[in-house]
Amino acid sequence: MGLPGRSQPRHAPAGGFGGRTVKPLVALFNTNFLPYSQTFVYEEIRRHERYAVEVFCRTRLLAERFPFEPVHVGGPLYGATCRAPAFDARFREAGFALVHAHFGLGAVYARRFAKRHRLPLVVTFHGYDVPLLSSPTRWLPQHLRYALLGPKVLEEMTLGLCASSELRDMLLAHGVPADRLRVHRLGIDLSRFTPGERPAHEFRVVMIGRFVEKKGFVYGIAAFAEVAREEPRLRLTIVGEGERGPALRQLAATQGAVAERVASHSSATSWSSGYHDFRRLAVSLARAMSPAHRSR
C-alpha cells in the first residue's frame, strides 16, 4: 500500500547486503505494550513479512505472555512530556522507513518523533479513539493530552488505517481528506480457531471484550438470561477484563432461576481473562454474541 504524497519506504538494494534480504524498519508506537485487550497488535507485528518492527512504548506489560524484541521503554518523563532522548538516539541510528502508531492516543506520542525525523506517520484507529475526539470525556485528565493534540494527529498523519467503515466516516466528518484514509480490517489466523466437537447437552455462547460500558455486556447478560429461561442447554462464557467486571458478575448472579442454574452447573457462566484461555474455549463454542452501547 502506497503512502499518499510520499515516496515508497526505503529498501535495501535487491538481494540485500552480503546476499541477505534487508526489510524496511518500522517504529511502532503503542502506549502500553501489551495488555490482554490488544492481542491483535501482537499478532500483527509477529506476522509482518515485508517489514521488521521495533516497538516504542510508555510501559512494558505481560512480557512473558507477549515476548517480543526489541521493545524500547520511555524514561520517567516520557508519559508526561512525550519526550525520550533514548528514542531519538535510536531513530538517528536505525534508519526507520516509517512510524506506525496503534490508536489515536498512541499517535500523540509518535507524531513528535515522526515530525522531528521527517518520517511518514501511519495511524491505525481501532474504535474508541475516534469518537473520543468529540466526546466530553476527552477533557478528563487521562484523555486531556489527546483532546489537545488529537486534532494535530489528524492534520499531520500521512495515512489513517481504519478498522471499520464507520470509523472512516467519522474521520471524514472530522475533516480528514478521503485520500489519507483506508479501511484496513484486522485479520486472524483461522487455523488457530478451528471448531471442534460440541457437546450435545449444551449450547455455549461467548462474549469477549473489555468490561466497559460501550461493549454492552449488561445487555448481553440480560438477553442471555431471557432466552436461557426457555432453553436449559444454554451456557455463557465471558472473556475479558475491565472496570465493570465486579458489576457484571453481580448482575449475572441476580438473574433469578438462570443464576441458580448457573451455580448448579458451575461452568455455565465462566469468567476468564486472556487470549490463550479464549483459544481453548473457542473449539466448543456455538455462537459469539457482540452487543454494544452507544452514548448519544
- Tens of pLDDT, residue by residue over 26-76, are 999 999 999 888 888 998 998 888 999 999 999 999 999 899 999 999 988
From the centroid of its chain, how far is CA 87?
A: 23
Q: How many CA atoms lie within 13 A of 284 on its CB side?
A: 15
**Three cell numbers, residue 217:** 455486556
**Three cell numbers, residue 28:** 511502532
- Tens of pLDDT, residue by residue over 68-93, are 999 999 988 898 899 999 999 999 99
pTM across the whole model? 0.74
Domain range for 209 is: 190-288
Tell me, yes or no, whether 176 and 200 share the same domain. Answer: no
Compute the distance between CA of residue 146 and CA of residue 148 in angstroms, rounded to an integer.
5
Burial of 272 (C-beta count, 10 Å sphere; 0-12/13-18/19+): middle
Tell me, yes or no, whether 203 and 165 share the same domain. Answer: no
What pLDDT score does 14 carry?
38
Q: How many domains, in total, are found in the chain? A: 2
Residue 19 banded pLDDT, cuts 50, 70, 90: very low
What pLDDT score does 210 carry?
77
Tell me, yes or no, whether 219 and 160 share the same domain. Answer: no
Tell me, yes or no, whether 93 and 198 share the same domain. Answer: no
Residue 282 pLDDT more than 90? no
Burial of 38 (C-beta count, 10 Å sphere; 0-12/13-18/19+): buried
Q: What is the CATH number of the domain that holds 271?
A: 3.40.50.2000
Give domain status of residue 2, yes or no: no
Give domain status of residue 293, yes or no: no
Give domain status of residue 8, yes or no: no
Tell me, yes or no, whether 58 and 176 share the same domain. Answer: yes
Q: Are 248 and 217 in contact (CB under 8 A)?
A: yes
Q: Are 112 and 83 in contact (CB under 8 A)?
A: yes
Give domain status of residue 232, yes or no: yes
